[in-house]
Amino acid sequence: MTAPRIVITGIGGICALGTDAPAIWSGMRAGRQAIGPITTVPLHELKVRIGAEIKQLPEHGLDRKRLVTMDRFSLLASIAAQEAMSQSGFAVDDANTHRVGAVVGTGVCGWEAIEESYRAILLEGKPRTGIFTVPRVMPGAAAGQVSMTLGLRGPVFGATSACASSNHAILSAADQLRLGRADVMLAGGSDAPLIYGILKGWEALRVLASETCRPFSADRNGLVLGEGAGMVVLETLEHAQARGATILAELAGGGMSADASDIVAPTVEGPSAALQACLNEAGLAPSDVDYINAHGTGTKANDRIETEAIKRVFGAHASKLSVSSTKSMHAHCLGASGALELIACVMAIREGIVPPTAGYREADPECDLDVTPNEARRRDVRVALSNGFAFGGTNAVIAVKAME
């Protein structure tokens, strides 16, 4: 039996670049770096105080009774999910609710609630935490909150694999459709890591940039953390056509792998295997790919190894690819990054524009791909890949292509 084709019919997002997908894409096209001093949380003695924060949330229609049960990462996921579903034009009702689900990835779960609890008990001497601490903290809370926000009663679960969480969630959601467990799936990721305890932990790793994120630039000195969420609506091609939906792109396939090597240091072999598996599943030759949205964190090791993996898989075609890291603009949103970067891939296909790697200043001979420095470029993009290579050595790559 031929597996059903999976298509994308809605996208939604929120991050420092904008509070909806059009604003995010506009910022990406412009090469705008939404990275600056963190102003919304107490940072105490932190050495690194920059990030990509959402200064003000949009109107979202969720009442206070719901909000007190939600951590920020769940709220961001719900906002992005509402936008994606609205764009898709699909209406959830009693007749179809059990055929609609959601998979939401996250990297660090509800640390806002954890930190509030630590402060209440250890600093303020309170005898107990907030009553909703546990449901706010759960890594799967965002998926549950999305299902309640939109009334989804099909397959609903979370995915957590650090920076690859979004890509794993999206590919898992596509599997639900291929297996016939659902007709429509919302999928993506959300994270809100601009919390003192999280930032303190990342600071200890000595991988945070002191000024801004400059992926692939020879003078890069680390990553910058950001907050955000991205969601897409997936459905089978047959289902989308039957209801007359506007199809934004086709999810052509995906590839997953594990380094099985080191908890933080990446290998070339793991990312290479995920890239090759993605091409194989999507039925693509290396020469079919026009654009890669790189994992591109801005650390010395990650960018060098990702470059080597791309060259290993794509061979001579690697020099003809357009590559960029949009983390240079929205920063590293951990479990949300892959979903935000998939928005970039979908829009690159639809508009024929490759978003840039912002902040690029100096060529690095070890990162000698065409990384689209500083300015967006017009190019006919028929096929795009989104790379997700995470701590723990978990890798997931997604291929999207123009509808034919």
Locate 121 and state its tokens. Answer: 């008990």
- The span from the first CA to the last CA of the chain, in angstroms, equals 21
Secondary structure of residue 7 in the 3-state scheme: strand
Locate 227 and state its tokens. Answer: 């907050």
- Tell me whether residue 213 is one of the annotated catalytic residues: no
Task: Provide φ and ψ at 96, rounded to 5°.
Answer: -120, -5
For residues 46 and 86, give the distance between their C-alpha atoms in angstroms, rounded to a whole number: 40
- Tell me whether residue 163 is one of the annotated catalytic residues: yes
Strands 100-105 and 156-159: parallel
Q: What does 210-268 look like in DSSP terms, one character per residue?
A: SS---TT-TT---B-BB-EEEEEEEEEHHHHHHTTPPP-EEEEEEEEEE--S-SSS--S
- Tell me whether residue 168 is one of the annotated catalytic residues: no
Task: Provide φ and ψ at 77, rounded to 5°.
Answer: -65, -40
Point out the catalytic residue in the list 15, 109, 163, 213: 163
Point out the catalytic residue in the list 168, 330, 332, 333: 332
For residues 213 and 326, give the distance between their C-alpha atoms in angstroms, rounded to a whole number: 10
Q: Which of 54, 111, 46, 118 is nearest to 80 (CA)?
A: 54
Task: Provide φ and ψ at 187, rounded to 5°.
Answer: -150, 150
Check the CA dihedral 21-25-28-30 and report its sign: negative
For residues 57 and 19, give the distance between their C-alpha atoms in angstroms, rounded to a whole number: 7
For residues 274 and 100, give the distance between their C-alpha atoms in angstroms, rounded to a whole number: 28
The DSSP output letter for 4 is P
Point out the catalytic residue in the list 295, 333, 345, 367: 295
In sequence order, the β-bridge partners of residue 306 are none
248, 10 Cβ separation under 8 angstroms: yes
Catalytic residue set: 163, 295, 332
